[in-house]
Amino acid sequence: MTVVRKTPGPAKHRLPGPPDVLELIMDCVGIHAAAKQPGCEEIRWFKSRPRAASVRVRRHTCDCQPVAYELCQAGGLMFVRRYDRSDGVLIEESEWLRPPAAEHLWTRILLGQSR
């Protein structure tokens, strides 16, 4: 099932001036996936379905971006979940893979070699 929800977009508007504690807290500490590289491979994204009782998020990209990714684990398999908030919220996932293949896919996404 595709989950589409209306949420406000990332708010990153700052007032000019010296950084304060709040700004330091709000600064990005997450990983930002690189821009799409030439020859970027198209990932086939599937509608997110509840396929496992529990899913663990092992890694994630920074939430400040309109599209964020999570490397998830469910039992012995892993997959990448994609949150696209450019128009509402669209949650999709990659195919479910064995951990080495999923880690490889995750790395390619971070490097902008797959999207």
Nearer residue to Zn ion within complex by CB, 62 or 110: 62
**From 43, 62, 89, 110, residue interacting with Zn ion (rule: CB under 5 A):** 62
Stretch that binds Zn ion, among 21-29, 46-54, 72-80, 101-109 (CB under 5 A): 21-29
CA 103 to chain centre: 14
Cβ 83 vs Cβ 5: under 8 Å:
no
Q: Where are the alpha helices (DSSP H) in the chain?
A: 21-26, 99-110
26 makes contact with Zn ion (CB under 5 A): no
Stretch that binds Zn ion, among 39-47, 59-67, 80-88, 103-111 (CB under 5 A): 59-67
**From 4, 28, 34, 67, residue interacting with Zn ion (rule: CB under 5 A):** 28
64 makes contact with Zn ion (CB under 5 A): yes
For strands 90-93 and 67-74, give the pairing.
Answer: unpaired
The distance of closest approach from Cβ of residue 67 to Zn ion in the complex, given in angstroms and rounded to an integer, is 12
Q: Which residues bind Zn ion (CB under 5 A)?
A: 28, 62, 64
